[in-house]
Structures are given as structure tokens and as C-alpha cells.
Amino acid sequence: MGILDNRPALKAGIDRIAEVAGYLWEKGWAERNGGNITVNITEHVDDVMRSLPALGAPRPIGKVLPRLEGCWFYCKGTQKRMRDLARAPMANGSIIRILPGAASYEIVADALVAPTSELPSHLAVHDYLLAKGSPYRASLHTHPIELVALTHSRRWLEKDVATRMLWSMIPETKAFCPRGLGMVPYLLPSSVELADATIRAIDGDYDVVMWEKHGVFAVDVDIMSAFDQVDVLNKAAQIYIAARSMGFEPEGMSEAQMQEISAVFGLPKQGLF
């Protein structure tokens, strides 16, 4: 038996992760083993799960994350591909539990699949979210083509310049991604510095953060919601790029139109538009 057997709520959550992994591959956002998913599944843990033996020795996180003590996560496996995770999530990812002291973890199910090398960064963000009292339980890193392309121009790296443009391309962007797109200058992938910069950006009231010339990092209540935010933002970037490829600069929605959307729907950051 696998850990998902007779646990419908947990299985439904893992199935959603697999579904999102498939979307990432289909969109071309997950080349080779690119991208990562980490989801806090603690709410689905029962007493039988808590008694399960570890599949291997404890592994260090690399830092102490006190709010995560006793938490459980599903993590994409290192060197695993999203297209494979979509077909077999428990063969291409693992369920881990954070041990007392919050400095190490152990793999519990279903196989001894080592988590992504970016696990410390993802867990650091989850620790921050819990400390803040956030309901967000999912983190997603992926490589949306058009959004990454924008970061190859200094113009779009300035604070909220890309946000204003993306919001103005189509009303749904402002409605469904009301906190916009944060920007983090290029830092070494998987580094502590990148993790710290990402947390600072999220703390600046963003749910989706752009890593210059790399990809995005998104957080939300569940993995589908995190994916949806990235999908909506990237659609806006596609509209902008399509207009430019037709030979003109899109005028975008007016400031008055954007303010109307913000007021009607009671959206945050109304000062930006």
C-alpha cells in the first residue's frame, strides 16, 4: 500500500500537484528537470502517518526553520521531470516530515526520492508564511517563457513597471493577480541569497516574484491557485509581445479603467492604478 491509499483528501491534493506539473510541461515552462513544487500537507496527516518509519537517515535542511517543526510536505524530487511527475507523482517526488529542532527532515513516502536541491529555499519561504499567519500552503517555481523574456530588458526590472504593463493588457490580470509581480535581480539559483531576496519580495506584498533571467516563484493557498496566477500574468505578457510583434506598442487600459476595476472589486494596491 502507498501513503495515498484510503486517504482521499491527501490523494486529491497530490493529484492536483500532478495536474499542475502536466500543465507546466505542456506550456513549455518545465524543460528537462526545470521547476519545483513544494506543498505543505500537514493538515492531511493522521496518526497512522505520524507513526510511519522513515525511509532513510535524517537529512539536514541547512538552517533552522522553527515554525516548520512537525510539518509535512510533498516535494518534487531532485533531477525529476515535471512531465514524469504528472504521470507518477509519488515516483517523482516524496513526502517528508520536519523533525524536532526544525533543522532536519526525513523522507517518509512512498520511495526514497531525494527532494529538490532548492528545498531549503522553498522551506524557508514556508517558514516565513507560517510566521506571518498566511493561509498559503503551496510554492511553485517555473520558467514561463514570456515573463522570463521581459527580464532581459532593464526597463521591466524597475519596481512595478512590469506590473502596471501586465495589469493594463487585459482586465483579468488586475482582478486575478491584484498584488502584481515582484522583481528580484539575478542571483545564483538555489542560493541562500536568492531565497532571502525572494522572502523580502513576498514581504513587500507580492504573491508572484520574478527572478531575473531565470523564472518565477509563486505562493498561494494551493498549487492550482499559484499556477493560475503565473498563467494569468504570462498571458498578459503574451498579449504585450504579440502587439509588439505586430509592429506597435499596445496602449493598454487607461489609468481610469484600472482604477475602476480596483474600486469595484475592492482590490489591494489601488494606488498603483
pLDDT digits 0-9 by tens, 63-84: 999 999 999 999 999 999 999 9
Whether 113 has a pLDDT exceeding 70, the answer reads: yes
> In the 3-class helix/strand/coil scheme, how is the chain assigned residue by residue?
CCCCCCCHHHHHHHHHHHHHHHHHHHCCCCCCCCCEEEEECHHHCCHHHHCCCCCCCCEECCCCCHHHCCCEEEEEECCCCHHHHHHCCCCCEEEEEECCCCCEEEEEECCCCCECCCHHHHHHHHHHHHHHCCCCCEEEEECCHHHHHHCCCHHHHCCCHHHHHHHHHCHHHHHHCCCCEEEECCCCCCCHHHHHHHHHHHHCCCCEEEECCCEEEEEECCHHHHHHHHHHHHHHHHHHHHHHHCCCCCCCCCHHHHHHHHHHHCCCCHHHC
For 147-197, the pLDDT digits (tens) are 999 999 999 999 999 999 999 999 999 999 999 999 999 999 988 899 999
Calculate the average pLDDT of the chain: 96
Q: Which pLDDT value is given to residue 256?
A: 92
- Domains of the chain are 1-139 (3.40.225.10), 144-266 (3.40.225.10)
Q: What is the mean pLDDT of residues 27-35?
A: 97
Q: How confident is the model at residue 94 (pLDDT cuts 50, 70, 90)?
A: very high
Residues with a catalytic annotation lie at 118
Q: Lowest mean pLDDT: which of 113-117, 119-123, 139-143, 191-195?
A: 191-195
Question: Does pLDDT of 271 surpass 70?
Answer: no
| pTM to 2 decimal places | 0.95
